[in-house]
A and B are shown apart, each in its own frame.
Chain A
């Protein structure tokens, strides 16, 4: 999106999270676009440094939870009031609302059930994670102790390579995306 013209990517490997974070900030301020960082653990502040938007998964979870609450309300209304009302322990069943206090546990559980599961499915879907998927990281060392940065090449290649070396990159390679 917008970056389709720049199809040469320079990969730089680092071995320290603080160095990577500083490098990302430096490159961004020099006008480069850091398109990806593969890291073995979450680096605090990296998303901001790379200019990533906030994730909307938590907002989605709220609406999923709301859906669960509505489903539970409908389910208890339909089964206990509409379809076959029964007098159970003298609890009022003429209106759903009168019987509602004893449905609170189920309404709560289904809210959590929907919010948690649908959020996780969304998380897997947007990250394209599924059983047997090909490893997304190009270098297997990035799940151990290395950090791989992908920068879109702009201007002279030697300038960028030099800059990356100054910023502490251990290995630099070029890929045509």
Chain B
């Protein structure tokens, strides 16, 4: 029953027992934070405060404080929105799609990847809200009866579809994450010595006791949620791409956008998971659980999705030429050779060229190289959104209104602020939550643990 082919590499290294897993995963929660954590947290917190200041300034004065102008009326805000939403895709992909495909290596990384999803969707959600200008009117996007006659929201608009997609995605990811967290909170509750800590985890664990019927329901709910979250995650970036694809702007009006955006989202999300987990495994000494096998698997996903994105870029160029529409052709010519050529080629280099190194087994199992590429990919994906948004609109049909975009300190400040906010949330999570789904991991110890696998190969499958 616990047999697994010897071809599969062990996912849990070392001579581990169930208690070892419990101890290792409870450790960051029960011990004092390492110095590196405090340094990282302080930096992130300062960035977060700076971002809050810039957001307050924007709300108090108006979005005129951004670098937008009459021609370029969408720039960093929407770039950052799409970038963060894209990053948010990997968590659900890992926990839902890989669950449906029965990929056991997901178990060590799904908890943190889902945390990353939730925290980055929160960052994404900030941008449309502050872009409204009058954020106190944000509830107008909801279809609620109001005193303005029978004026309703417009269900034909992709921007409204986005409201439904993002809010469904954020809330469903959160419950999916929480359902999985409950048994692990119960584990911390049952071993807590400090009464305050025990009380907090008692509240968080909802009284979980691990009854047989409850585990049966737990597995069913996880499976159904995975089945629901899989089309959901694909729909979210599809709908984000509709914001552009349903418009008539050359460079946006393309049917390839939904699959291209989804591939790009998975690509950038996995890169962010790599960045975060390479740090987490080091600081919290989780190398036995998040080992080279996991890193390599994720690098392969990055390589494949990066190549899909590359094919999409080239298809776009081809279709622009093949369409025979001169505006469409100019939009792409302008991207590659116009004043924003550097952004276009930065995108091409980071997203299409750099992941190709992962064909080499030596490079994709090298931690430092992986870390560097993961950051390069996220820079590239930011440029992709910038290129799509700004270069498509900065030169419109009327050459007299052509212009350039340059961000103000507020644009930059808000972006930095969201990075800070994201890391504040993630670092707090890493200190107070079980960062690995330990209950799930225990189910594969006997099939994928190094000691058990070794025992099997020495003594044969019983």
Contact = CB atoms under 8 A, between A and B. Distances in A.
B207 A130 contact: yes
A83 B165 contact: no
A170 interface: no
A44 B202 contact: no
Contacts of A115: 224, 228
Contacts of B221: 57, 119-120, 123
Interface stretch (B148-156, B291-299, B399-407): B148-156
Interface in A68-125: 75-76, 79-80, 83-84, 86, 88-89, 91, 99, 102-103, 105-106, 108-110, 112-113, 115-117, 119-120, 123-124
A102 B37 CA distance: 48
A76 B1 CA distance: 51
A106 B164 contact: yes
Contacts, number: 213
Given A109-B164, A145-B18, A79 B216 contact: no
Contacts of B442: 40-41
A152 B183 CA distance: 26
Nearest to A62: B224
Most buried by B among A37, A65, A75, A112: A112
A112 B231 contact: yes
B65 interface: no
Interface string A41-57: 11111110010100101
Contacts of A116: 172, 175-176, 225, 228-229
Given A41-B440, A46-B215, A116-B225, A105 B171 contact: no
B101 to A, nearest CB: 18
Contact of B212 (A46, A86, A133, A135): A46
Interface residues of B, number: 69
Interface in B151-183: 151-158, 160-161, 164-165, 168, 171-172, 175-176, 179, 182-183
Interface stretch (B109-117, B130-138, B187-195, B313-321): B187-195
Interface residues of A, number: 66
B345 interface: no
A137 B209 contact: yes
B205 interface: yes
B71 interface: no
A39 B160 CA distance: 45
B210 A55 contact: no
A22 to B, nearest CB: 11
B209 A135 contact: yes
Contact of B19 (A110, A133, A136, A145): A145
Contacts of B189: 135, 143
B439 A40 contact: yes
Given A40-B439, A41-B442, A80-B156, A144 B216 contact: no
A31 interface: no
Contacts of B161: 105-106, 109
B155 A55 contact: no
Contact of B168 (A88, A102, A112, A127): A112
Contact of B203 (A80, A105, A131, A145): A131
Given A103-B155, A135-B186, A50 B212 contact: yes
A133 B216 contact: no
A84 B149 CA distance: 9
A80 B155 CA distance: 7
B228 A136 contact: no
A117 B203 contact: no
B153 to A, nearest CB: 7
Given A88-B156, A105-B161, A134 B207 contact: yes
B179 A120 contact: yes
Contact of B224 (A80, A113, A119): A119
B71 to A, nearest CB: 23
B388 to A, nearest CB: 20
B217 interface: yes
A129 interface: yes
Contacts of A127: 211, 213-214, 217
Nearest to B172: A116
7 contacts: A18-B1, A42-B439, A102-B155, A105-B165, A127-B214, A131-B203, A143-B22
Given A39-B212, A46-B216, 14 more contacts: A18-B446, A37-B211, A40-B22, A46-B212, A55-B217, A58-B224, A84-B150, A105-B235, A116-B225, A120-B179, A128-B207, A129-B206, A141-B190, A145-B19
